[in-house]
Amino acid sequence: MLMTIMVGGLAVMTAIKLGPLYMDDFAVSQVLKSLDKKPDIASANSTEVKDWFNKGLQTNLIELHPEEFRVMQDRYDGVSIKIDYERRIRFISNVDLIVSFEHDWKVKSQ
C-alpha cells in the first residue's frame, strides 16, 4: 500500500511540475494557428509576421527568447516560423526534468 501511495505521489508531482510547460506549449501552437486566420497573412512580410507572433505570445504571457524561434522569408514559399526550445524544471533535489518542444509554421496561400 505504501509503495502505491509513493508511486502515485510521484506521478502527481510530475504532472504538477510539467503541466504548466505543456500548457504554455499548447498556447504557442494556438498562436501559430491564429496566424492562419489573419486576412492579409499571405502578403505579409517576415517583420509583420514576427510582430503578430510576438503580440500573440505577449497576450498569452509566454516568453520565448529570440534565439528560440526564427521567422524566415523565402521568395517562393513565403514566410515561415521555426520554433525549437527546451525548458528545465527542478524536480527532486538534484534531479531535473527537461522537455523539448518544436513547431514549424508556414504561410498558407489564400
pLDDT at residue 84, as a whole number = 95
Q: Are 49 and 36 in contact (CB under 8 A)?
A: no
pLDDT-based confidence at residue 45 (cuts at 50, 70, 90):
confident
pLDDT at residue 109, as a whole number = 61
Q: State yes or no: pLDDT of 52 exceeds 70.
A: yes
pLDDT-based confidence at residue 110 (cuts at 50, 70, 90):
low
Query: Percent of the chain beyond pLDDT 70?
Result: 98
Please count the structural domains in the chain.
Answer: 1
Strand order across the beta sheet in which 78-92 lies: 69-74, 78-92, 95-106
pLDDT-based confidence at residue 97 (cuts at 50, 70, 90):
very high
Q: State yes or no: pLDDT of 83 exceeds 80.
A: yes
Domain carrying residue 54:
2-106
Q: State yes or no: pLDDT of 58 exceeds 60.
A: yes
Neighbours of 49 (CB within 10 A): 22
Whole-number Å distance between alpha carbons of 84 and 10: 28
Q: Work out the mean pLDDT of the chain and round it to a whole number.
A: 91
Set of cell numbers at residue 47: 517583420
Whole-number Å distance between alpha carbons of 21 and 54: 18
pLDDT at residue 17, as a whole number = 93
Which residue's entry shows cell 505579409?
44
CA 70 → CA 1, 10, 13, 60, 73, distances in Å? 50, 37, 34, 19, 10
